Chains A and B, each alone.
Chain A
């Protein structure tokens, strides 16, 4: 049992250029996982294209880690197959899968210096000395840790340890990099920097396929080419990041990925308006929004992001709703307003406020562009 791109001899011919050119795809083919009678992953079918960053995002306990660990080989699927590139890895032990993995608590080897941590995988795979030296240098340079090769993990900060963990995973030139909440243990400032650095890392290694598990929507939105939203052991939605954000296919996706105002509306007669926009009625107001295949009379939700609501109208912002001002929270860069529109709380994130804001409790119009909205079906919960 051997994986072609992972045996000792092959490690040495797979150079960086080759990796850049061709990564491997990861394919979940109806993979399910159960602990006893408790099904934590319902048959999951999902493909991660070569060189793609797929962010798997969802609330705690939704099965993200389980899916990732099934790829790594630590969780045995109850059914289904997992393929990496052309290899069916379902029955392979973790050490024959040719992967890299980085987890939340770094899991560095505490009794080894940074350089030995990074060299560990290559030594395990029997690479020769010269190659190991070169790769260790390269990998540490990639994560900006060249000056720390002689340190022990305990002599590094959390962010530095995580860089070393990434270098350790990259040194073996993995076919796929698995990241499970890699930044969750870091504080906010460092986390933001690390997100940008991982993005840069992927620009440098565009062939590297990455499965990025997180519960943080900002990380997912910043990094991912595609996002899979998990809910109760199922993929609730899956698609290109911007697409999923702009046109969420269901309420759960709309609310999990960024903030969303979801107004209950009824699809109006007259079907598609100009530019293929659907018309929907909210009380007396008739609004236009990007529809799917709604029929007149359907009850659905109109999704509008807080930053797309404007306090002033113009020829672009043709949709108009009126709400009652409830709360105003000033946060420096942004001011958050909460209004009540027909019983639905509506949030507005405004960068600029008019000179005078109406009193709390008084009526206030809000304007938005039809192109910024979409109609989202209410979730049908099973």
Chain B
């Protein structure tokens, strides 16, 4: 590899021009990534007696618990991604195009959200919106209610809200990068030609941000499809997603083949979304 040329030319390096260097990373990848992956795929198609068995795979695909989890996963991740796109877009437009003092600080603050563990937000949500949280306690106090009036948190929508909160910065970030590249002259030209702000956003700014939206959106889809911590933490009854199902099949029921079958589907879904993300990110040049 070309990098070897930067090293002092040792005799070894001269004899074999760096070809050796592919071995350690490849070995590491194989050991830590491909091997376990292969094991999972293998397990998915072998029954307990070690015989190849596709029937089980087909059975799981048609099982109620799997289909419910798949629908839950897709609903939650599509809804959360849509939420992230809307929140990211609105915030991005404001931060990039409405000049106000401190917009840079806000942008960086939102950025640091990415550094926080996802379930932390869920924990905070429990304190605020939970049945014993601030909002409910306050409402019960003020209106002398017997039961907590707000209970959306322990539902699909609680999960979606938490995911939107956590993952919006993943849309905001590439959007701000794309917005910063939009020539202000184009916006001004559009304005002089008679376009009002809404039309400028639609016809001048958004087309320039499409790759960023696709990149951020597909990243959100990927992350929310695989989200485990938030769903587990909220623990809403009946809200089982694929990662949660894998967990419960493997750890609680010791049904390893079923867990692996679901995992294979989960992986295929993730890789597809990742491909979409790479494609969009490549067009954006990040």
Contact = CB atoms under 8 A, between A and B. Distances in A.
A269 B192 CA distance: 58
B164 to A, nearest CB: 29
A124 B188 contact: no
Given A107-B183, A109-B204, A101 B192 contact: yes
B194 A168 contact: no
B24 interface: no
Most buried by A among B188, B192, B196, B208: B192
A165 B190 CA distance: 11
B188 A101 contact: yes
Interface string B144-170: 000000000000000000000000000
B185 A103 contact: yes
Given A103-B185, A107-B186, A124 B192 contact: no
B186 A95 contact: no
A99 B191 CA distance: 10
A95 B185 contact: no
Nearest to B182: A110
Given A105-B185, A124-B199, A72 B192 contact: yes
A107 B195 contact: no
Contacts of B199: 124
Contact of A124 (B186, B190, B207, B208): B190
B193 A121 contact: yes
Interface in B14-33: none
Interface string A81-108: 0000000000001111111110101011
Contacts, number: 71
A72 B196 CA distance: 14
A59 to B, nearest CB: 22
Interface string A109-139: 1110000000011001100000000000000
Contacts of A100: 192-193
Nearest to B184: A107
Given A107-B183, A111-B207, A120-B203, A72 B188 contact: yes
A74 interface: yes
A210 interface: no
B71 interface: no
A3 to B, nearest CB: 10
Contacts of B185: 103, 105, 107
A319 B196 CA distance: 63
Interface in A297-316: none
Contacts of A172: 193-194
Interface residues of A, number: 29
A107 B194 contact: no
Interface string B201-215: 001100110000000
Nearest to A96: B194
B189 interface: yes
B203 A94 contact: no
Contacts of A6: 194
Contacts of A107: 183, 185-186, 188-189
Contact of A95 (B196, B203, B207, B208): B196
B191 A94 contact: yes
Contacts of A109: 186, 189-190, 203-204, 207
Contacts of A74: 188, 191
Given A109-B204, A111-B207, A124 B194 contact: yes
A93 B191 CA distance: 9
A101 B189 contact: yes
8 contacts: A94-B188, A100-B192, A101-B188, A109-B189, A120-B190, A124-B193, A169-B192, A169-B193
Interface of A: 6, 72-74, 93-101, 103, 105, 107-111, 120-121, 124-125, 165, 168-169, 172, 178
Q: Which 5 A-B pairs have the closest CB atoms?
A: A121-B193, A107-B185, A124-B195, A94-B191, A124-B194
